[in-house]
Amino acid sequence: MKLNKLKRWFFVMVKNTGIICLMILVLTAGCASMSSADKTQRQERGINKLVIHTDKGKDTINKNIYGHFSEHLGRCIYDGLWVGEDSDIPNTRGIRNDVVEALRRIKIPVLRWPGGCFADEYHWKEGIGPRQQRPSMINTHWGMVKETNAFGTHEFLDLCEQLECEAYVAGNVGSGTVEEMQDWVEYMTSDADSEMANLRRFNGRDKPWRVKYFGVGNENWGCGGNMSPEYYADLYNRFQTYVRSYSGNRIVKIACGPGSENYPWMTTVMERSHRRMNAISLHHYVRGTGNWTKKGSATQFDEAEWFALMKNTLTINPLLKNNIEIMDRFDPRKRIGLFVDEWGTWWDTEPGTNPGFLYQQNTIRDAVSTGIFLNAFNNHCDRVKMANIAQTVNVLQAMILTKDEEMVLTPTYHVFEMYKVHHDAVMLPVELQCGDYQLGDEKIPSINVSASKDTSGKIHITLCNLDPTKSAELVCDLQGTRPSSIIGRALTAGAMNAHNTFDNPEAVQPDAFDKFDFEDDILTVTLPPKSVVLLGIK
């Protein structure tokens, strides 16, 4: 009997009879018929079993989990998104056409701007009116370079309209005033006969924009003012009072939450301000070995560094669990959304680039890390309602890299393209038992997964094999459904550091995947090493 048929037979028998001891007999018989080499390899991989409850989904995966973040940092805005109307690079009102088209292909749902740390030194009135008359400033957080304010409120909201995505504006609490924040919201969203609305009209925009999301400060425990949680919570309560909903625009007010494991911050801000917020943020960056001063290269690393990133990325699961438990104490009805509005990998900048610009490559390693993050957000979608990867273009774990008129899509971009099937789908509960990926004395689970069902009834499973050297055989019990057809795609590469460059822009991209078989409700899959796999099941 072939091994895959043996596995399927075993699952059917266990489901129908509940005789657990049969598993040992069947697997022993199967291993006995294999060569000693196959047996050793199978023992190393372990027995990977997945149960997907296709008939028990109840929570919806908010498409905003697949959101993005654009800060006035390095070449994210200038060169990445904005080139100006006079540029030879094809553009629409100064915004790059190629980048807009690429982001539309992944159905970008929401874009956060202008920061980041930059948000709490940004004064919006300097970024409106004729560009040649806008005052410049020094970007003190990111390279001490001149900020021309050529890209401001009108340009950002034009970009969101071109992308057909929601706008998420981060307000200035660190160095701004209540009046400044109040005026900005009125300027953008009011249709009244008022000073701010008329100023917008004078600057060329008659009707107000729709601005759904507004953040009251950013990282106020750090670059946004080095505040205590008590002080910030009191400021939040004051500032948010003046973030008003005008002319039918309903604003979601977002409080500044913690960075990674700063649980006292989450506790204090939730305790003092939960009645006045609609959402609270969480930031979480990961790296390999090393420290935050020397984070390691994005492209030059060994398996120990690969393993370290996978291990560090998996910390997102307890981090979400612990923060959600705190939120549940003050908001048991889950009215308040958890917005992970900055997340991703963070490496040393590429050689020869401005260290304040945070320009880094990303590889298949970053792609697998991305899959783990997104699976975690999917699986916690009862509370996680938005996430924004840092950042969209040319900064940190970017979707897109640009050089003059050229554009490259990164492996991370391709994961977002594959995972767009989860947008607004119903999350399906999963139970995974898998072998370990072990390196030296350390080990972590080798497989990571999430699943959903869309409005047409189609099921999608996204799987990550964290092991860069070994494939993983997985047997999946699709409880509640019997597939009629399955299609697959896989993102993988030969080398751990494979990445896309301007000379070789398609080195890493998804391919058709067919290393699976199914019979009745039992699916068997062989996941390639270092891979992200998507299965679509009808």
Concatenated DSSP letters for 290-314? Answer: S-SSS---SS---HHHHHHHHHHHT
The encoded tokens of residue 69 equal 């973040």
Residue 399 CA to residue 255 CA, distance in Å, equals 26
Taking the model in full, what pTM does it have?
0.91
pLDDT beyond 70 at 237: yes
pLDDT score, position 22: 31
Residue 442 CA to residue 389 CA, distance in Å, equals 28
Q: Which CATH superfamily is domain 3-59+427-537 in?
A: Golgi alpha-mannosidase II (2.60.40.1180)
pLDDT score, position 69: 98
For residue range 473-495, what is the model confidence (pLDDT) as tens digits?
Answer: 999 999 999 999 999 999 999 99
Tell me the average pLDDT across 273-292: 94
**CATH of segment(s) 64-424:** 3.20.20.80
CA distances from 457 to 63, 382, 525, 538 (A): 17, 20, 21, 7
User: Do 126 and 137 meet the contact criterion of CB atoms below 8 Å apart?
Assistant: yes
Residue 326 CA to residue 264 CA, distance in Å, equals 10
pLDDT score, position 289: 85
Residue 409 CA to residue 127 CA, distance in Å, equals 30
Measuring CA to CA, which residue among 400, 386, 436, 26 is closest to residue 215? 386
The encoded tokens of residue 63 equal 């498409």
Backbone angles phi, psi at 16, to 5 degrees: -80, -30
Active site residues: 219, 342
Domain ranges in the chain? Answer: 3-59+427-537, 64-424
- How large a percentage of the chain has pLDDT more than 70? 91
For residue range 93-145, what is the model confidence (pLDDT) as tens digits?
Answer: 999 999 999 999 999 999 999 999 999 999 999 999 999 999 999 999 999 99
CA distances from 209 to 213, 242, 487 (A): 12, 18, 41
pLDDT score, position 290: 75
User: Do 277 and 271 meet the contact criterion of CB atoms below 8 Å apart?
Assistant: no
pLDDT beyond 60 at 18: no
Q: Sorting pLDDT into bands at 50, 70 and 90, what band is 29?
A: very low
28-42, 274-288, 383-397: least confident range: 28-42
- How large a percentage of the chain has pLDDT more than 90? 90
More confident residue, 434 or 27: 434
